[in-house]
Amino acid sequence: MINLIVILPFFSAFFMALVYLYNTKAKRYVFYTAVGVGTPVVMTILSFMLAYELLNGSQTIHGTLFKWINIGDFDISIAFMADRLSVAMISFITFIGTLIHIYAAGYMKEDDGYGKFFVYFNLFMGSMLLLVLADNPIMMFVGWELVGLCSYLLIGFYHQDAANIKASNKAFILNRVGDFGFIMAISLLFVALGEGGFTFDAIQANIGSVSHEMLTLIGFLLFLGSMGKSAQIPLYVWLPDAMAGPTPVSALIHAATMVTAGVYMVARYSFLYVEVPDVGLFIASIGAASALFAAIIASYQSDIKKILAYSTMSQLGYMFIAVGLGAYSAGIFHVFTHAFFKALLFMGAGAVIIALHHEQNIFKMGGLKKHLKVVYITMFIATLAISGIPPFAGFFSKDAILVAAFASEHYVIWGIATFTTGLTAFYMFRMLFTVFFANKKEVQHLTPIPKSMTQPLIVLAIGSVFAGFLGVNEAYGGSSWINTFLALPDTKLHVSHSSEYMLGALNVILGLMGMGLAYKLFAKETKEPQTNTLLKSIVINKFYVDEIYEFIIIKPLLFLSHLIAKVIDPKIFDGFINLNVWTYRKSGALFGKLQNGKVRYYALYILTGVSAMSFYILIKLGVM
């Protein structure tokens, strides 16, 4: 059964692709919807069945497809492993994925490439599940790369526009830079302990035989992969540009699933990371920096999807703070709750965009509260959740992270994270108020939004409300159920209940302050931020990071390429060869000059030759 979950989407994608390529013009709306949305539904049911089994006390479920390769010690099978961590992940991935597929059926309805879209979307689901359910690092890497490929295909879906293709290239290239680190880590791991088998179980058993330095290196290189995949500093620049893809893509891939793969990876390798807390600290620091950095930029962005993109990057930073400091369950818990409200936010944004005929600038929106009721209410709930207001989901997961940060005595990180909480509330409510409140002029005619788009919003809103209850701390009366379920090697923390209450209260206050400030500034009337001060222009231009990368990396690379083409290749290598050719030619000409047709010279040559021979003979004869 576990094999089926992964194979099914690949087969449906392949099947739909064949049908699509056979005749790309035919609409076949019903067919593509049935197969394209039906598949995730089946996958969700299967995932829940697996989860149910594990909840009832089964051990990890394994399934093998076939042996992939067997050379030397390198013995890998395409095999799957559903332990508690993966089953938790696939449950929400398939569930939210299905909702987004339904949403996409409405969103993409008029598009010519409808069939192609679902091919890619299903391919993505298969790849993501491959990544999560793989039982060895190689298969996980295959899934990892394939989700990158799907991201590339989907971001560049509207491929007539060159800007979209640039964005998708950027995504794939930066992902691959991360993958470069990832594959080095896997290779080093294999070289270190491949003899004992290379499944996650085997690696976990043998991890003690690897030296500490090597583990540090491997941990760092693995995280390099996460930096790319989960858009942390410095490999994040693809995420805002990725918003060029259709909104369902942003919702599924760049909010709920693919970007969280990096966090999942750290949790999966938790047995390694517990040995190297220094790397963990590094991870947490990058997370904190990314969280703050993204929040600052988001506060000045005008494009609704870009705000959400930076928000995702910021929340991912929180997840990395958690897993970096050893609170793996807290990190995964936040992945889980974040998936609900972030997907909801993106889908709501998509609804707004469609309603306003593809307008994405929030300062051109306003006063939509009355006209888009369902969207408004659901997005309001999601915004409350992301700002960490109890009892919504975000409160419990964020709180868990901040408590962990505080308890681990890394106060700088805790401070940054807490401050960012306030900032998060601020920019999120800024967005909400600007879009739905501020009275703009009259509201033009709105495109109606199909039910297939609004109903998933409702489901997700419910999730955003209740999902948090899975991980309530003891301080608040819960039993951290999700922590016990996941059974990850979390560092044990000792925080008194009163400290927890204080921390919780602090977060809520900051959240409310952010909300209030946003209300004051944006609820009544708004104007787009101008780049009139130096500081503002730096922030609005996203700290010029893209330009810096262009300068440090792209320009030198192009320069080097041109250098090789114009100088090194022709002048040095070819030059050496041409030197030879020139030498031959010149010597040839030189010898040619000897034959000038004049008798006297020939007589001279005879003279020279005979004299030389005579001398030689005379010397040999001993006369001279």
**Rounded CA separation 361/440 (Å):** 13
CA nearest to 411, candidates 499, 473, 316:
499
Ramachandran category for residue 326: left, alpha or beta (phi over 0 → left; psi -120 to 50 → alpha): left
Cβ closest to other proteins, residue 71 vs residue 623: 71
The interface mask with other proteins, positions 75-94, x = CB under 8 A, is --------------------
The interface mask with other proteins, positions 130-159, x = CB under 8 A, is --------x--xx--xx--x------x--x
160 binds other proteins (CB under 8 A): yes
Six token digits for residue 45: 């049911």
Which of 11, 180, 380, 476 touches other proteins by CB under 8 A? 180
**Would you say 431 and 514 are in contact if contact means Cβ atoms under 8 Å apart?**
no
**Rounded CA separation 512/425 (Å):** 7
Rg (CA), the chain: 32
Cβ closest to other proteins, residue 161 vs residue 474: 161
The interface mask with other proteins, positions 192-211, x = CB under 8 A, is --------------------
**Rounded CA separation 74/193 (Å):** 11
**Would you say 495 and 424 are in contact if contact means Cβ atoms under 8 Å apart?**
no
The interface mask with other proteins, positions 37-66, x = CB under 8 A, is -----------------------------x
**Would you say 219 and 265 are in contact if contact means Cβ atoms under 8 Å apart?**
no
**Rounded CA separation 443/366 (Å):** 8
Six token digits for residue 270: 């938790």
Buried (b) or exposed (e) across 272-305, using 16+ Cβ within 10 A? bbbbbbebbbbbbbbbbbbbbbbbbbbbbbbebb
Six token digits for residue 279: 């790397």
Six token digits for residue 330: 């807290």
Report, in Å, the least distance between residue 170 CB and other proteins: 9
Size of the site for other proteins (CB under 8 A): 59
Six token digits for residue 393: 């989901």
Which of 3, 60, 91, 187 touches other proteins by CB under 8 A? 187
Number of C-beta neighbours around residue 98 at 10 A: 23
Which of 64, 70, 479, 496 touches other proteins by CB under 8 A? 70
72 binds other proteins (CB under 8 A): yes
Which of 538, 603, 613, 619 touches other proteins by CB under 8 A? 603
614 binds other proteins (CB under 8 A): no
Cβ closest to other proteins, residue 164 vs residue 387: 164
State the Cα angle at 225 between 222 and 229, rounded to 5°.
Answer: 145
Of 56-64, 91-99, 165-173, 506-514, the window that binds other proteins (rule: CB under 8 A) is 165-173
Cβ closest to other proteins, residue 59 vs residue 596: 596
**Would you say 116 and 139 are in contact if contact means Cβ atoms under 8 Å apart?**
no
Of 56-64, 353-361, 451-459, 591-599, the window that binds other proteins (rule: CB under 8 A) is 591-599
Which of 52, 74, 544, 615 touches other proteins by CB under 8 A? 74
610 binds other proteins (CB under 8 A): no
**Would you say 481 and 391 are in contact if contact means Cβ atoms under 8 Å apart?**
no
Q: CA 476: distance to chain centroid?
A: 34
Cβ closest to other proteins, residue 159 vs residue 497: 159
Which of 71, 534, 590, 623 touches other proteins by CB under 8 A? 71
Of 90-98, 188-196, 346-354, 520-528, the window that binds other proteins (rule: CB under 8 A) is 188-196
* Residues in 551-590 that interact with other proteins by CB under 8 A: 557-558, 560-562, 564-565, 569, 573-574, 577
The amino acid occupying position 173 is I
Q: What residues line the site for other proteins (CB under 8 A)?
A: 21, 24, 66-72, 74, 138, 141-142, 145-146, 149, 156, 159-162, 165-166, 169, 172-173, 176-177, 179-180, 183-184, 187-188, 190-191, 557-558, 560-562, 564-565, 569, 573-574, 577, 592-600, 603-604, 607
